[in-house]
Amino acid sequence: MKVLTLQGSPKKKGNTATALNWVEEELRSLGHTVEQVYLNSRNINGCLGCAKCKEKPGEVGCIQKDDALEILEKIVDADLTIFASPLYFWGVTSQLKAIIDRSWSLVTNYHTPEHSSLIENKRQALLLTGGGEFENNAEPTFTAFDRLVKFYKGKKAGELFLGSCKTPDTMDIKKKELAIEFAKKISGK
């Protein structure tokens, strides 16, 4: 299986990177190919909401010629995309949100019988780290992700929230075990 991971933390060696590396390592050991895109180093503008992409439903037809196009093509090409982010104010980081907003280019005629998607039946998974616990904190992001998967006409492969992620030593063996379990689940093994 071809796996694409979107690393949404600005920190290259932070908690999200640690958790995502555990997941990627396990996926590779299960025989999958994994490519990571570190979003913070890429040039991704916000969506303009111009709907020009709707004029060519069969392609990623965004008028903004930045790095988002290449990343959206990678999402189309992958069997599974993992959206990884630290929780920033009860949501994902602006780096990840920008590519999510630009993924409007992948879907046409939402909320109509003609609803179509360039990633229909592809799988998506969510990996979040947060300084707090799940309750009264991470729920909105998980709800939004469920809706995003439906918008994509995709399939949710899995979701994981690692709470109490603060200093690097809080990324302990228990969290590693949860990350490995998550990787096995989304791998289908």
Residue numbers of the site for ligand FMN (CB under 6 A)? 9, 11, 14-17, 86-90, 129-132, 137, 165-166
User: Is the Cβ of residue 46 or residue 131 nearer to ligand FMN in the bound state?
Assistant: 131
User: Is the Cβ of residue 45 or residue 170 nearer to ligand FMN in the bound state?
Assistant: 170
The answer to whether the CB of 105 falls within 8 A of the CB of 72 is: yes
Closest contact distance (angstroms) between CB of 51 and ligand FMN is: 31
**H or E stretch covering 126:** strand 123-129
Closest contact distance (angstroms) between CB of 119 and ligand FMN is: 26
Would you call 164 helix, strand, or coil by DSSP?
coil
For ligand FMN, the nearest residue by Cβ is 14
Closest contact distance (angstroms) between CB of 68 and ligand FMN is: 21
User: Is the Cβ of residue 16 or residue 105 nearer to ligand FMN in the bound state?
Assistant: 16
126, with CB counted inside 10 A (0-12, 13-18, 19+), is: buried
Contacts of 162 (CB under 8 A, 6+ apart): 15, 19, 127, 128, 129, 130, 175, 178, 179
Closest contact distance (angstroms) between CB of 75 and ligand FMN is: 21
CA distances from 42 to 22, 98, 154, 156, 168 (A): 23, 11, 25, 26, 25
Closest contact distance (angstroms) between CB of 137 and ligand FMN is: 5
Q: What is the Cα–Cα distance from 122 to 47, expressed in whole angstroms?
A: 23
